[in-house]
Amino acid sequence: MNLAQTNSVALLGLDGHLVTIEVDIADGLPMYSLLGLPDAALSESRDRVRAAIVNCQEVWPNRKVTVSLSPAWLPKSGSGFDLAIAIAILSAQQSVDAQRIQSLVILGELSLDGRIRSVRGVLPALMAAYKAGIKSAVVPSANAAEAGLMQGMEIIAMAHLKDVIQWLRTGVREIAQEIDYSWSQIDERLDFADVAGQPVARLAAEIAATGGHHIMLIGPPGAGKTMIAERIPTIMPQLSIAQALEVSAVHSLAGTFATRSATSRIAPLVSPHHTTTRVAMVGGGAHAIKPGACSLAHHGVLFIDEAPECPPGVLDSLRQPLEAGTITIARSIGNVTFPAQFLLVLAANPCPCGKFTGRGRACTCSSQQVRRYLSRLSGPLMDRIDLRVNVDPVGRVDMARSDLGEASASIRARVIAARAIAEQRFAGLGYSLNSQIPARSLRTDFQPERVAMNFLHDELDRENITARGLHKIIRTSWTLADLQGRNLPSMADVLQAHTLRGGVEA
């Protein structure tokens, strides 16, 4: 019987679907027919697979070859099906044992000489295969590190089609190179000790890292805004194994392991240029939908420098994921949802020349230019920012001091202790950060002192804050209380949270 099948995985976002690749070789005019909604890259697999098989000294069937990818309704994209199609064709010719490939999932792109190239999305694909009950996988050697994170699966990493064929025929393969799967815990290249002065901005960064609050830093060039933002991940707790796998799955799909290790438990820092597009920020694409910067920063920090210089609408596209923690992209091929639970850090100059400090010194901008510059950031976006901090120029005294500031390690210890208090308080509620407290719970179970609530209600009546702003202030006050070891936010905590939200130094 000239019929065989192998298994692979099609990805829609992070959701993987097991795909059965069936190959039928029948009498008739020599041709190659590919069925099952393939995209252009997958349709071109015919020539890659044929050349790879012939160049490995195997026989290409000079007959009618029909390849069906099931389920037929599911769109398939990419070149990751090449290896599975090649093995299915060889199995249909009885060149390899069909029994050996029934319980395998096979991923990989073929070059013309038979080498197996790396593909994107190996980790989420293996997660989907594991959920479907498959415990063994053949993957490219270049993807061995991320594939090895699936501890419950047998990973067979191969570099060439010849090696796969030999292993399927004889069970013999080269001894795989040992890979260090130890999780990287700390990045010592950056440290808050490098930041001179800026006590208010440092405190705001600590509050943001503790409660997951979004922050905006406003100050002249050279004041330390970028230094502070880049060091926020160093004071955040390391990711749990589940969080690290989720982050690695997103980066696997995006193909960004060149900048981030697959085994890293460090909170990611993603800093797109201010000229980025909306698609690059939130994700998308015409054929294969890829995650954007907000998803790559999942469980980490999304830092946008020179925020007022971003094209219109780019930052406003973050408003929905800031609230929901996910981003759903709708295209004709279907809807894809990516995780997007990130800490947003914005940095901006106070005016076009960057020298406006409120005292009028050295600034060459008119009052109208100053007002227009920050007004490029929309009100609805700014309403979602918890902390707005003015970063003043560093003085001579701070720059002349020989002793360094507080190191990231000591700040991180306080952040971890405060987060532990919050996790204990929210046990069984489905969230762990103060920034995630639902609005309903803020009105019922997590109100601060009565006098503090009266103050906030007065501010709401005066329209100094919005309803969202009231909730943001309460959440921030809980973080301040956790850092001080208090069981309930006091009036002082609420006042400090209100001041930090207003962009005035406390």
What number is the average pLDDT over the span 487-504? Answer: 87
Sole residue written with tokens 């190179």 = 177
**Quick check: helix, strand or coil at residue 154?**
strand
Residues 6+ apart with CB under 8 A from 165: 56, 58, 90, 95, 96
Vertex 29 angle, CA 25 and 31, to 5°: 65
Task: Give the start-end residues of each E strand in 49-110.
Answer: 64-70, 104-106, 109-110
Give CA–CA dist 233/270, Å, rounded. 10
CA distance to 411, 452, 471, per residue, from 489 (Å): 21, 8, 13
Minimum mean pLDDT range among 60-74, 94-108, 406-420, 490-504 = 490-504
In the chain, what is the greatest distance between 2 CA atoms, to the nearest angstrom? 87
Q: Cα-flanking dihedrals φ and ψ of residue 23, to 5°?
A: -125, 130
Whole-number pLDDT of residue 366 = 84
Whole-number pLDDT of residue 13 = 85
Minimum mean pLDDT range among 8-17, 116-125, 403-412, 445-454 = 403-412
Give the confidence band of 189 by pLDDT, cuts at 50, 70, 90.
confident
Region 3-170: CATH code: 3.30.230.10
Whole-number pLDDT of residue 402 = 65
Minimum mean pLDDT range among 279-283, 288-292, 403-407, 473-477 = 403-407
Mean residue pLDDT across the chain = 89
What number is the average pLDDT over the span 204-222? Answer: 94
Whole-number pLDDT of residue 299 = 95
What number is the average pLDDT over the span 328-340? Answer: 86
Whole-number pLDDT of residue 505 = 39
User: Does the domain at residues 192-410 carry the CATH identifier 3.40.390.10?
Assistant: no
Give the confidence band of 309 by pLDDT, cuts at 50, 70, 90.
very high
Residue 312 has pLDDT above 60, yes or no: yes
Residue 188 has pLDDT above 70, yes or no: no
Let me know: does 10 contact 38? Beta carbons within 8 Å: no
The topology (CATH level 3) of 437-506 is Helicase, Ruva Protein; domain 3 (1.10.8)
Query: What tokens does 380 get?
Result: 């609805």
Sole residue written with tokens 């930041």 = 195
Query: What tokens does 264 get?
Result: 């890293």
User: Do the domains 3-170 and 437-506 sit in the same CATH topology, yes or no?
Assistant: no
Residue 504 has pLDDT above 50, yes or no: no
Give CA–CA dist 463/338, Å, rounded. 35
Whole-number pLDDT of residue 506 = 33
Residues 6+ apart with CB under 8 A from 426: 432, 437
| DSSP assignment of 326-361 | EEEEEETTEEEEEE---EEEEEE-SSSSS---SS-S
Let me know: does 112 contact 79? Beta carbons within 8 Å: no
Percent of residues, the chain, with pLDDT higher than 90:
65
Sole residue written with tokens 């025929």 = 169
Domain regions of the chain by residue span:
3-170, 192-410, 437-506
| DSSP assignment of 168-205 | HHHS--PPPPP---PPB----S--GGG--S-HHHHHHH
What number is the average pLDDT over the span 399-408? Answer: 76
